[in-house]
Structure 1
Amino acid sequence: MITVSQTYSRQGDRQCAGCSLHSTCLTRGLSKADLEAFDDIMVQPQPLKRGQELVRQGQSFHSLYLVRAGSLKKVMRLPGRHDEQVIRFYLPSETVGLEAIGEAYYPASVVALETTFICELPFEQLVSFAEQYNALRTELMRCMSRELRGDQRQVCLLSGRSTAEQRLASFLLGLSRRLHARGYSRYRFQLTMSRADIGSHLGLALETVSRVMGRFQRQGLVNVSGRELTIRSLESLEALGEEGSGLIGSPDDRRMIACR
């Protein structure tokens, strides 16, 4: 089984051209020669321990980050509340910090869920580089579009019309698809986030997440051992998840329909 947290090699894998995630990363449209130039602006992968903050809510914006290995969660502390809302989870090759570009500060904290390696892209240097390389500028806009679409999907999912079962099924399907696109198993992977984090992300109580996960196991949809999850019936999970997510189309090419 390939897990979300792959072993990161420090030898011979510190440049973009040698990264196994290049085909799914922000840099995927760049040629080998372009990647060598891109290496000059990138701060080489830095390690984060589990629970360590990458950025803090309200911190001045200065860089985008690419997840080289591991996973993170984006959490926001809301005014008048003592708890935190989990907004998003980041997986390998995904870009962190896009929502901070407009206001010039990070609106939420980003915290490592496990040992994680991050490539830092100082934004001013990235903009200068993108002015010379159309492929990077285009991919940056695509990343922004995907994040907006993901936010729209999340709003529809939490609109109040979806059951707890539909929300959890949609979440597991989303993880499965994102991981599969990055070369991981579609059916077997690690849940690096806690059930409390999943509940916060889906607007569900911890007890509800545990109860629904247990129900999925009894129904033969999934099997959970510790944090290792195996999808046993992808078709059944898709039928349940898509009923509440507002998604249509093939599993590899989903389109969002309007929230009713």
Structure 2
Amino acid sequence: METNVVDLAQLRRGCAQCSLQQLCLPAGIGQQDLQQLDDIVRRRRPVATGERLFRPGDALTSVYVARDGAFKTVSTSEDGGEQVVGFHLPGELIGLDALGHGRHRCEAVALTTANVCEVPFEQLATVAAQVPSLQQQLLRVIGQSVGRDQDHLGMLVRRQANERIALFLHGLGERLRNIGESGSRYRLPMSREDIARYLGLALETVSRGFTRLQEDGVVAVTGRRIEILQPDELARLAHGGEPAPPVQRRARS
């Protein structure tokens, strides 16, 4: 029988000591209000790779914040096809898909080992009603989530394959910078199959796109490790620019 080693000191850390406080919470929230929020965080628990936080049809009981690690949200069509609808990094709320109908329309799966904070939704709503700054922050986070969904839909509808891949890498780098990590050198927590399902592309198309970006000197790819060599060029491609033409080799005389 496997035994998970739990870091009790890590799990006991409250919101006031959490390194993600400024991402999850508004600056200037009072200590008493912060304690109110900290009191309702039900569990700070480890999550294994592949473990699910919720499944389609589950009632909305809690929302989650990854303290570390990464997650994907996946929806399944009637014919059994899977579509990755989002990736979630530390400090980002998971579970907002159920806000409209009270039940989850997708499942959240851990891409890596992680630690999450689980926050009962009804209690969170009650505390937010009493703490205006927290309520404003929740509305901002919900708005950001809606914005990412709209960007994702627009990308799937309008963008060519090379644009989708460039936009994905560019956007992921920006999100990593927002949590204090490098946006130019990072390890992808998701597989290329997951990227393909997120971008609405064939796996072979994603692999060719990575190869093309590497051959053009825009990125360096080693397995899941990415280094952005030409950030300006990547940003240009992400916003609709055409790939630079290949360098013509001079014929030998």
Considering the TM-score relative to the shorter chain, is it more than 0.5? yes
Instruction: Check conservation: 2:43, 2:119, Cα contact below 8 A.
Output: no
Greater CA radius of gyration, 1 or 2?
2
Partner residue of 1:241?
Answer: 238
Closer/same/farther in 2, CA of residues 163 and 212 from structure 1, 3 Å limit: same
* Structure-2 residue corresponding to 1:24: 23
Match for 1:92 among 86, 90, 93? 90
Q: How far did residue 150 of structure 1 move?
A: 0.9
Which residue of structure 2 aligns with residue 178 of structure 1?
Answer: 175
Amino acid at match of 2:156: L
Q: Say whether the 8 Å CA contact 1:14–1:44 is kept in structure 2.
A: no
**For the residues of structure 2 that align with 1:128 and 1:28, how far apart are their CA atoms?**
20
Structure 2 equivalent of residue 110 of structure 1: 108
User: 1:156 maps to which residue?
Assistant: 154
Name the amino acid aligned to 1:153. Answer: D
Q: Which amino acid aligns with 2:198?
A: H
What is the one-letter code of the residue matched to 2:56?
Answer: Q
Deviation of 1:192 after TM superposition, in Å, equals 0.7
Other-structure match for 1:35: 34
**Take 2:68 and 2:104, find their aligned partners in 1: how far apart are those partners?**
22
Q: Structure 2 counterpart of 1:17, which letter?
A: A
**TM-score w.r.t. structure 2 length?**
0.89
- Segments of 5+ residues of structure 2 without an aligned counterpart are 1-5, 242-253
2:96 and 2:142 in contact (8 A); partners too: yes
By relative contact order (CA 8 Å, sep 6+), the higher-ranking structure is 1
Matched, 1:143 2:141: yes
CA distance in 1, matches of 2:125, 2:234: 41
Summarize deviations over 1:64-111 as a string: whole Å, max 9, x none: 1111110000000111x2221100000000001112122111110000
How many residue pairs match? The answer is 235
Q: After the TM superposition, which of the residue ranges 26-35 and 144-153 deviates more from structure 2?
A: 26-35
From 109, 127, 133, the equivalent of 2:125 is 127
- Structure 1 residues 29 and 175, CA gap change in structure 2 (3 angstroms): farther
1:203 to 200, 204, 215: 200
In structure 2, what is the equivalent of residue 44 of structure 1? Answer: 43
Once the two structures are superposed, what CA deviation does each residue of 1:11-67 show, in whole Å capped at 9, x if it has no partner? 266211111111111455523332222111002311111111111111111111111
Question: Equivalent residue of 2:63, what SS?
Answer: strand
* Among candidates 221, 224, 228, match of residue 225 of structure 2: 228
1:76 aligns with 2:75: yes
Identity of aligned residues (%): 40
Q: Give the distance between the partners of 1:45 and 1:69, measured in 2 at CA.
A: 11
The CA distance in 1 between the partners of 2:28 and 2:83, in whole Å, is: 34
Q: Note if 1:62 corresponds to 2:64.
A: no
What amino acid sits opposite 1:220 in the alignment?
G
Gaps of 5+ in 1: 1-7, 245-260
Report the Cα distance in structure 2 between the residues aligned to 1:135 and 1:43, rounded to whole angstroms.
21
- Describe the SS at the equivalent of 1:85: strand
With structure 1 as the length reference, what TM-score do the two structures score? 0.86
Matched-pair contact (CA < 8 Å) for 1:61–1:101 = yes
Tell whether 2:215 aligns with 1:218: yes
Deviations 1:100-124 (A, max 9, x none): 1221111100000000111011011
Distance in 1 of aligned mates of 2:186 and 2:32: 35
Tell me: CA distance 1:219–1:191, structure 2 relative to 1, closer, same or farther (3 Å): same
Residue type at the aligned position of 1:40: D
